[in-house]
Amino acid sequence: MDNAWAEGLVNVVDVEATCWSGSPPPGEVSEIIEIGLAVIDVRAGERVARHRVLVRPVRSSVSGFCTELTGLTPHEVDQGVTFAEACRLLAAEHRAGARPWVSWGDYDRHQFTRQCRATRTPYPFGRHHTNAKAVFTEAYGLRKRPGMARALEIAGLPLEGHHHRGVDDAWNIAALVLRLHNRGAWPTTAEHPA
């Protein structure tokens, strides 16, 4: 186990962003509207906390399609914090820069990178990122990378909560990470799959 994992706590992050059934309306771009975060205690082998940060979009709006998919309404996300404040919270309250972190695929990491660059917000995460989808695909000998819900079925785990809700998806991804870790399939070096 590498030093980052040996410390014990790992953040699992899943974001939801503004989305549309087709192309974005003119002048709008996809923005994070919810950050779901689950904390894994690797030593105890359990999920120990779950957090949700709602983020107020400024360059887009929540479409009917987005509400149908995520359950998040325009009114709900309008009560959220700014993206810069959300990043500050991740760094200050959840040690995002120090703890290793995990996401299902690379979408979440890339969305943070794009949005931080566009808003000139400091990137909140450290360099220890693991793409859990890549690890799962390799561990189960799959030819195609499955979505999170399909991976839960393959692993024999229940889908808890509302799929496409960041806080629930992070919790479910954390269960998959623990399953992989318990099977001895989680990377043990600082070289994490992208």
139-172 pLDDT, tens digit each: 999 999 999 999 999 999 999 999 999 999 999 9
**Residue 55 per-residue DSSP state:** B
- List, for residues 31-54, the tens digit of each pLDDT value: 999 999 999 998 899 999 999 999
Residue-level pLDDT at 190: 45
In angstroms, the CA 34 to CA 57 distance is 10
SS3 assignment, position 136: helix
Q: Quick one: which of 88, 91, 73 has its CA closest to 119?
A: 88
Please report the domains of the chain, with CATH numbers, ordered by start residue: 3-182 (3.30.420.10)
Largest CA distance in the chain: 49
Q: Find where tokens 């689950």 sit.
A: 38
Residue with the bigger pLDDT between 5 and 49: it is: 49
Q: Quick one: which of 37, 36, 74 has its CA closest to 57?
A: 74
Residue-level pLDDT at 43: 87
Q: What is the pTM of this model?
A: 0.93
- List, for residues 65-94, the tens digit of each pLDDT value: 999 999 999 999 999 999 999 999 999 999
* Nearby residues of 23 by Cβ (< 8 Å), 6 or more positions away: none
In angstroms, the CA 61 to CA 66 distance is 9
Cα 52 vs. chain centroid, distance in angstroms?
A: 11
CB 167 within 8 A of CB 34: yes
